Amino acid sequence: MSVRAFAPAGAEPLQAGITLELDDEESRYLVKVRRVRVGEAIELFDAGAVWLARLVTHGRRVRVEIDGPRPLGATPLARVLLLGLPDAPATLESITGACELGATQVVLVRCERSAGHVPSAGRLERVMRAAMRQCGRPSPPELLGGPPAEPWSLPDALAHQPELPGVFGEPHANDKTLPPGLTERPGGMRLLVGPEGGLSAREVEAATAAGFVATQLGPWVLRTPTAAVALLARFGSWPQTH
């Protein structure tokens, strides 16, 4: 597994041959956590790009030499996760899964059964960076409804990107009613997940009226993070071809 680090914000434009000093956090991660030694290769994330680099000096702040850019894979389709707020730990777990499974946007939504508070901006950023390190994704999903803003209302979330088809998990749904286009490489998807306790009957009615289609995610009641991962895995895994 590749060792990945983040270029410091505001660093000079990267190019092959330059050396770059990393900040304290990234230096500590490379030296203390991953035990990277001088001369070993790493990948460096910088504003959505990935660069191949080598560690050239140890110390409180390490320096790396840039070897060159790493080609990126296919452009992701629009995958918009409308996340009915669970408690804070489940919110962080859901965002981790969304980052790893390629969601392009995560919208935090205050639903009738939402009982938890929104994690701080710092915690959200740390969780997304950890997920990016693990999976190799060079840029995080866009987060809407996170601090300092307030979570969105469900009506506002249902009206977001209306050109994309939408689905939501419902234990009693009949998958035979799913439109064929949902499984035939659509241009993108909106995926609605309720909080712990699920969407209320009124919210299910509102989602259906907004064009969202109910789908089963198995015979059991799922936690919010599990439902988010299941929807993304089922409906959000098509690559964009060039």
Give domain status of residue 106, yes or no: yes
C-alpha distances out from residue 145 to 81, 83, 110, 140, Å: 12, 10, 9, 15
Whether 63 and 99 map to the same domain: the answer is: no
24 and 125, same domain (yes or no):
no
Cα–Cα distance between 4 and 106 in angstroms, integer?
Answer: 23
Sign of CA dihedral 149, 123, 231, 134: positive
Residue type for position 170: E
User: For residue 22, what are the domain limits?
Assistant: 4-69
Q: What is the pLDDT of residue 242?
A: 30
Residues 25 and 136 both lie in one domain: no
Claim to verify: residue 37 and residue 152 sit in the same structural domain: no
Cα 52 to Cα 34, 67, 197, distances in angstroms: 17, 5, 45
Q: With respect to residue 242, please indicate whether it lies within any of the assigned structural domains.
A: no
Please check whether residue 113 is in contact with residue 200, taking contact to mean a CB–CB distance below 8 angstroms: yes
Supply the CATH number for residue 27's domain: 2.40.240.20
Q: Does one domain contain both 108 and 179?
A: yes
Residue 65 φ/ψ region, left for φ over 0, alpha for ψ in the -120 to 50 degree band, beta for the rest: beta
Residues 114 and 54 in one domain: no
pLDDT in tens, the chain (242 residues): 689 999 998 778 899 999 999 999 999 999 999 999 999 999 999 988 999 999 999 888 999 999 999 988 766 788 999 999 999 999 999 999 999 999 999 999 999 999 889 999 999 999 999 999 999 999 999 999 999 999 999 999 999 999 999 999 887 777 656 666 665 656 789 999 999 999 999 999 999 999 999 998 888 889 999 999 999 998 865 444 33
CA dist., res. 157 & res. 136, Å (int): 29
Domain-located, residue 149? yes
The number of distinct structural domains making up the chain is: 2
Which ranges constitute the DSSP H helices of 29-150?
A: 88-100, 121-135
Residues 31 and 132 occupy one common structural domain: no
Task: Look at residue 240 in the predicted model and tell me its pLDDT.
Answer: 43
Domain termination site, one of 69, 94, 126: 69
